[in-house]
């Protein structure tokens, strides 16, 4: 087994939780210093889902390691990764009556501050699980699982995954989820009932290019200050919504490709977002061998390439859907990881970049937290 290192974060540090195909890493960044790397945790396990729950004050890390052999479950750490729970019984599993088996945990989302014991997770096959006791026990959301359209959802390249859960910051009953490939669904009653919500989002791979559902949505983000503002990176298509996701407008203005996975929104500026365009849905690498993050500051009317510090020659990189993140600092930090095992960081909203670490297993998730 590999030698496992640990980090000792303190207030003011940035914590990067990095999920890879072979385990999780915890990076700790201090102003003016190099990044300290903790891990690998869960060596050999694919870690798609990571979260840091700060609702209690003391940060609690969550991870959803998945072993090809032994399956997956949720584990948590209250000491930045030094120790992790290892429940005897798998805490996220489908009721036997569903006939389904858990393939992957894709997303963990701590509930709103008004519901400190609630957590959500999105899984493959596409479903939502909810915990009301701080993550000890989890229950399948029946409303979405029993949706009559569910049998017509199709798996994308990553499987039939529910990868995005957006808890509306103002409306406690409203949650939006995104499924590849099922499109987006919204509940307004806390999960009792769900309806498709994909108006204006294209599905190039279907005979009907604008179906009610079935789009391959790769990532969706929502402004916390102006929740009507959302951005969406589609499997072909880059979109903005100004009405909480009810309708979407194409904003692929001046980007080298409207295909991509990663998407992050500014923590305070609803007009600002970052993407990493990829070339075609076959190649799925950065166009022209240039690693460019694109940023909009005008809600998608225009996008500017950000290249300072990023390789611009022979860089055929891929940034996956959960591997691009922004923190809440001012200016915002922006972070991404690549399938080639690199993690890049920017302390100035993308104006300049530097490598934090190289040589990791393929990166599939990056979560950033500015520690108070």
Partner 1 sequence: MPFVFVIPGALQAHSGGRSEVRVDGDAATVDAALTLLWRECPGLRDRVLTERHEIRPHVNVFVDGTNVRAAGLAAPLRNHAEIIIVPAVSGG
Binding region for partner 1 (CB under 8 A)? 21, 44, 67-71, 73, 86-90, 93-96, 98-102
Indicate the residue among 85 and 312 with the shorter CB distance to partner 1: 85
Q: Which residues contact 63 (CB under 8 A, 6 or more apart)?
A: 17, 19, 24, 41, 42, 47, 49, 50, 74, 75, 76, 77, 84, 108
CB of 65 to partner 1, least distance (A): 12
Q: Give the closest residue to 280 by CA, choosing from 316, 334, 323.
A: 316
CB of 40 to partner 1, least distance (A): 15
CB of 284 to partner 1, least distance (A): 18
Indicate the residue among 169 and 362 with the shorter CB distance to partner 1: 362
Indicate the residue among 68 and 372 with the shorter CB distance to partner 1: 68
Give Rg (Cα) of the chain: 19
Q: Give the closest residue to 294 by CA, choosing from 331, 252, 327.
A: 252
Q: How many CB atoms are located within 10 Å of the residue 356 CB?
A: 22
Count Cα neighbours of 187 within 13 Å in the Cβ-side half-sphere. Answer: 20
Indicate the residue among 73 and 306 with the shorter CB distance to partner 1: 73
Indicate the residue among 145 and 344 with the shorter CB distance to partner 1: 145
Q: Give the closest residue to 66 by CA, choosing from 151, 158, 164.
A: 158
CB of 70 to partner 1, least distance (A): 4
Residue tagged 């096959």 (tokens):
125
CB of 142 to partner 1, least distance (A): 16
Q: Which residues contact 353 (CB under 8 A, 6 or more apart)?
A: 293, 306, 308, 309, 310, 344, 345, 346
Indicate the residue among 84 and 205 with the shorter CB distance to partner 1: 84
How many helices (DSSP H) and strands (DSSP E) are in the chain? Answer: 1, 28
6: burial class by Cβ within 10 Å (0-12, 13-18, 19+)?
A: middle
Which residues lie across from 274 on neighbouring strands? 264, 295
Residue tagged 């009317």 (tokens):
301
Indicate the residue among 102 and 370 with the shorter CB distance to partner 1: 102
Indicate the residue among 46 and 184 with the shorter CB distance to partner 1: 46
Helix, strand, coil percentages for the chain (3-state, nearest 5)? 5, 40, 55
Q: Give the closest residue to 180 by CA, choosing from 238, 123, 141.
A: 123
Indicate the residue among 10 and 69 with the shorter CB distance to partner 1: 69
Provide the H-helix boundaries in the chain: 142-145
CB of 132 to partner 1, least distance (A): 21
Under 8 Å between Cβ of 74 and 65: no
CB of 90 to partner 1, least distance (A): 4
Under 8 Å between Cβ of 218 and 261: yes
């Amino acid at each position: 087994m590999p030698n496992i290192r640990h980090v000792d974060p303190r207030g003011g540090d940035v914590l990067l939780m990095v999920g890879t195909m072979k385990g999780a890493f915890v990076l700790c960044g201090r102003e003016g210093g190099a990044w300290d790397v903790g891990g690998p945790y869960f060596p050999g396990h694919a870690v798609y889902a990571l979260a840091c729950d700060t609702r209690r004050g003391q940060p609690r890390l969550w991870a959803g390691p998945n072993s090809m052999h032994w399956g997956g479950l949720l584990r948590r750490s209250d000491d930045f990764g030094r120790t992790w729970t290892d429940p005897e019984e798998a805490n996220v599993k489908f009721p036997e009556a569903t006939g389904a088996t858990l393939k992957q945990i894709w997303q963990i989302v701590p509930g709103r501050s008004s519901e400190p014991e609630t957590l959500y997770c999105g899984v493959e096959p596409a479903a939502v699980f909810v915990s009301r006791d701080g993550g000890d026990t989890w229950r399948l959301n029946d409303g979405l699982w029993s949706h009559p359209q569910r049998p017509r959802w199709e798996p994308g390249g990553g499987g039939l995954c529910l990868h995005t859960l957006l808890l509306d910051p103002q409306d406690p009953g409203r949650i939006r989820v995104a499924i590849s490939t099922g499109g987006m669904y919204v509940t307004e009653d806390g999960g009792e009932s769900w309806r498709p919500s994909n108006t204006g989002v294209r599905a190039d791979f279907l005979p009907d290019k604008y179906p009610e559902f079935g789009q391959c949505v790769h990532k969706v983000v929502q402004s916390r200050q102006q929740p009507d503002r959302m951005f969406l990176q589609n499997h072909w298509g880059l979109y903005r919504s100004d009405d909480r996701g009810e309708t979407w407008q194409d904003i692929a203005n001046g980007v080298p490709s409207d295909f991509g996975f990663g998407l992050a929104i500014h923590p305070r500026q609803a007009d600002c977002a970052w993407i990493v365009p990829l070339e075609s849905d076959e190649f799925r690498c950065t166009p022209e061998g240039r690693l460019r993050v694109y940023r909009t500051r005008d809600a998608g009317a225009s996008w500017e390439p950000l290249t300072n510090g990023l390789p611009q020659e022979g860089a055929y990189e891929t940034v996956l859907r959960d591997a691009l993140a922004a923190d809440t600092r001012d200016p915002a930090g922006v972070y991404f990881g690549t399938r080639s095992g690199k993690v890049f960081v920017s302390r100035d909203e993308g104006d300049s970049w530097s490598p934090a670490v190289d040589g990791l297993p393929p990166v599939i998730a990056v979560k950033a937290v500015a520690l108070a």
